Structure 1
Amino acid sequence: MAAKKKEEVQPKHIGLVQNDSWLEPFEDAIRGRHEHAVWKLNQLTRNGKTSLKDFASGHLYFGLHKQLRGWVFREWAPNATEIYLIGDFNDWKEDEKYKCKRIAGTGNWELKLRERDLKHGQLYKMKVKWDGGEGERIPAWCTRVVQDETTNIFSAQVWNPAKKYDFKKKNFKPKKSPLLIYECHVGMGQDAEKVGSYNEFRENVLPRVIKDGYNCIQVMAIQEHPYYGSFGYHVSSFFAPSSRFGTPEELKQLIDEAHKNGVAVIMDIVHSHAVKNEVEGLGNLAGDPNQFFYPGDRHEHPAWDSLCFDYGKDEVMHFLLSNCRYWLEEYQFDGFRFDGVTSMLYYSHGLGEAFCGYPDYFNGHEDDNAICYLTLANKLIHEVNPNAITIAEEVSGMPGLAARFEDGGYGFDYRMAMNIPDYWIKTIKEQPDENWKPSSIFWEVKNRRPDEKTISYCESHDQALVGDKTIIFRLIDADMYWHFAKKDVNGVAERGIALHKMIRLVTLGTINGGYLNFMGNEFGHPEWIDFPREGNGWSYKYARRQWSLVDNKDLCYHWLGDFDREMIKVVKSVRNFQDKPVVEIWHNDGDQILAFMRGDLLFVFNFSPTQSFTDYGFLVPTGSYDVVLNTDSKDFGGFGFADDTVTHFTNYDPLYVNDRKEWLKLYIPARSAVVLKKN
Structure 2
Amino acid sequence: MENSQKLALVREETWLAQYEAQIQRRFDRYQEAIREIDNFSGNIIEYASVHNFYGIHFEPWRKGWVYREWAPAAKQLYFFGDFNNWDRNSHPMKKGARGDWEIFLPFEHYKDSFIHGSKVKVHVIADNGALDRIPAYIRRVIQDEKTHDVAGQLWFAKDFKWTDQSYSTKKSLKQPLIYECHIGMAQEKMGVGTYQEFEELTLPRIQAAGYNTIQLMAVMEHPYYGSFGYHVSNFFAPTSRFGTPEELKSLVNKAHEMGIAVVIDIVHSHAIKNVNEGLNEFDGSEDQYFHPGDKGYHEAWDSKVFNYAKREVQQFLLSNIRYWLEEFHFDGFRFDGVTSIMYHHHGLFMDFDSVALYFDENVDEDAIVYLQLANTLIHSFKPQSISIAEDMSGMPGLARPIAEGGIGFDFRMAMGVPDFWIKTLKHKQDEEWDMFELWHQLTNRPAAERSIGYAESHDQALVGDQTLAFRLMDKEMYFSMSVLQQNLVVDRGIALHKLIRLITLTLGGEGYLNFIGNEFGHPDWVDFPREGNDWSHQHARRQWSLVDDPLLRYAHLDRWDKAIIKLANDYQLLASSPADQLHLDPDKKILAYERAGLIFVFSFHPTESFSDLPIHVKNPGKYQLLLNSDETEFSGFERLDGKVKYFTDEHQCIKMYIPNRTVLVLEKL
Report if TM-score (shorter chain) is over 0.5. yes
Equivalent AA in structure 2 for residue 164 of structure 1: D
Are 1:23 and 2:16 an aligned pair?
Answer: yes
C-alpha distance after superposition, 1:290-312 (max 9, x if no partner) = 11001122111010000000111
Q: d(CA) in 2 for partners of 1:441 and 1:264?
A: 31
C-alpha distance after superposition, 1:209-263 (max 9, x if no partner) = 0000000000000000000000000000000000000000000000000001110
Q: Determine the structure 2 residue equivalent to 1:172.
A: 167
Are 1:677 and 2:642 an aligned pair?
Answer: no
Contact conserved, 1:649 with 1:664, CA < 8 A, in 2?
yes
Contact conserved, 1:57 with 1:325, CA < 8 A, in 2?
yes
1:645-664 to 2 correspondence within 5 Å? 645-653=643-651, 662-664=652-654
Q: Determine the structure 2 residue equivalent to 1:73.
A: 67
Contact conserved, 1:66 with 1:160, CA < 8 A, in 2?
no
Q: d(CA) in 1 for partners of 2:87 and 2:98?
A: 26
Secondary structure of the corresponding residue to residue 488 of structure 1: coil
Are 1:135 and 2:131 an aligned pair?
Answer: yes
Q: TM-score, normalised by structure 1?
A: 0.96
Are 1:449 and 2:439 an aligned pair?
Answer: no
1:628-639 to 2 correspondence within 5 Å? 628-639=626-637
User: Deviation at 1:131?
Assistant: 4.1
Q: Determine the structure 2 residue equivalent to 1:109.
A: 101
Q: Determine the structure 2 residue equivalent to 1:393.
A: 390
User: Deviation at 1:566?
Assistant: 0.5
Equivalent AA in structure 2 for residue 124 of structure 1: V
C-alpha distance after superposition, 1:477-522 (max 9, x if no partner) = 0111111111223100000000000000001012442000000100
User: In 2 relative to 1, CA 576–612 (structure 1 residues): closer, same or farther, beyond 3 Å?
Assistant: closer
Equivalent AA in structure 2 for residue 87 of structure 1: G
Q: d(CA) in 1 for partners of 2:398 and 2:577?
A: 22
Contact conserved, 1:309 with 1:316, CA < 8 A, in 2?
yes
Are 1:265 and 2:267 an aligned pair?
Answer: no
User: In 2 relative to 1, CA 281–11 (structure 1 residues): closer, same or farther, beyond 3 Å?
Assistant: same
Are 1:243 and 2:220 an aligned pair?
Answer: no
Equivalent AA in structure 2 for residue 668 of structure 1: I
User: In 2 relative to 1, CA 177–643 (structure 1 residues): closer, same or farther, beyond 3 Å?
Assistant: farther
Q: d(CA) in 1 for partners of 2:297 and 2:101?
A: 27
1:350 corresponds, among 347, 350, 358, to 347
Secondary structure of the corresponding residue to residue 590 of structure 1: coil
Q: Determine the structure 2 residue equivalent to 1:62.
A: 54
User: In 2 relative to 1, CA 43–10 (structure 1 residues): closer, same or farther, beyond 3 Å?
Assistant: farther
Q: d(CA) in 2 for partners of 1:209 and 1:479?
A: 27
Q: d(CA) in 1 for partners of 2:548 and 2:128?
A: 61
Q: d(CA) in 1 for partners of 2:55 and 2:491?
A: 57
* More moved, 303-312 vs 83-92: 83-92
Q: d(CA) in 1 for partners of 2:166 and 2:346?
A: 38
Secondary structure of the corresponding residue to residue 205 of structure 2: helix
Are 1:90 and 2:80 an aligned pair?
Answer: no
Q: Determine the structure 1 residue equivalent to 2:44.
A: 52
1:296-375 to 2 correspondence within 5 Å? 296-375=293-372
Q: d(CA) in 2 for partners of 1:349 and 1:599?
A: 39
C-alpha distance after superposition, 1:75-103 (max 9, x if no partner) = 1111112111111222211243x321112
Total equivalences in the alignment: 660
* More moved, 112-121 vs 271-280: 112-121
Q: d(CA) in 2 for partners of 1:156 and 1:131?
A: 23
Q: d(CA) in 2 for partners of 1:338 and 1:224?
A: 16
> Percent identity among equivalent residues?
48
User: Deviation at 1:545?
Assistant: 0.5
1:125 corresponds, among 82, 107, 121, to 121
User: Deviation at 1:35?
Assistant: 1.0
C-alpha distance after superposition, 1:291-337 (max 9, x if no partner) = 10011221110100000001110100010000000000000000000
Secondary structure of the corresponding residue to residue 45 of structure 1: helix
Q: Determine the structure 1 residue equivalent to 2:32.
A: 39
2:552 corresponds, among 536, 551, 555, to 555
Q: d(CA) in 2 for partners of 1:131 and 1:300?
A: 20
1:560-571 to 2 correspondence within 5 Å? 560-571=557-568
Equivalent AA in structure 2 for residue 547 of structure 1: W
C-alpha distance after superposition, 1:95-126 (max 9, x if no partner) = 43x321112x1111111112215100000100
Q: d(CA) in 2 for partners of 1:432 and 1:256?
A: 47
Q: d(CA) in 2 for partners of 1:581 and 1:133?
A: 60
Where structure 1 has 5 or more consecutive residues not aligned to the other structure, the ranges are: 1-7, 654-661
C-alpha distance after superposition, 1:446-475 (max 9, x if no partner) = 110011000000012111111110111111
Are 1:532 and 2:529 an aligned pair?
Answer: yes
User: Deviation at 1:650?
Assistant: 1.7
Where structure 2 has 5 or more consecutive residues not aligned to the other structure, the ranges are: none
2:251 corresponds, among 247, 254, 263, to 254
Equivalent AA in structure 2 for residue 676 of structure 1: L
Q: Could you list the structure 1 runs, at least 4 aligned residues long, displaced by more than 6 angstroms after superposition.
A: none
Q: d(CA) in 1 for partners of 2:604 and 2:661?
A: 5
Secondary structure of the corresponding residue to residue 120 of structure 2: strand
User: In 2 relative to 1, CA 480–132 (structure 1 residues): closer, same or farther, beyond 3 Å?
Assistant: closer
Q: Determine the structure 2 residue equivalent to 1:623.
A: 621
User: In 2 relative to 1, CA 132–200 (structure 1 residues): closer, same or farther, beyond 3 Å?
Assistant: closer
User: Deviation at 1:580?
Assistant: 2.4
Q: d(CA) in 1 for partners of 2:363 and 2:410?
A: 22
1:484-523 to 2 correspondence within 5 Å? 484-523=481-520
1:210 corresponds, among 200, 207, 211, to 207
Q: d(CA) in 2 for partners of 1:199 and 1:150?
A: 24
1:363-442 to 2 correspondence within 5 Å? 363-442=360-439
Secondary structure of the corresponding residue to residue 4 of structure 2: coil
User: Deviation at 1:579?
Assistant: 2.4
Equivalent AA in structure 2 for residue 147 of structure 1: Q
Q: Determine the structure 2 residue equivalent to 1:657.
A: none
- Supply the RMSD in Å over aligned alpha carbons: 1.3
* More moved, 11-20 vs 611-620: 11-20
User: Deviation at 1:10?
Assistant: 8.0
1:188 corresponds, among 176, 181, 185, to 185
Q: TM-score, normalised by structure 2?
A: 0.97
User: Deviation at 1:150?
Assistant: 1.0
Q: d(CA) in 2 for partners of 1:435 and 1:128?
A: 63
Q: d(CA) in 2 for partners of 1:10 and 1:577?
A: 32
Q: Determine the structure 2 residue equivalent to 1:643.
A: 641
Contact conserved, 1:177 with 1:576, CA < 8 A, in 2?
no
Are 1:589 and 2:586 an aligned pair?
Answer: yes
C-alpha distance after superposition, 1:263-313 (max 9, x if no partner) = 000010000000011110011212112110011221110100000001110
Contact conserved, 2:453 with 2:512, CA < 8 A, in 1?
yes
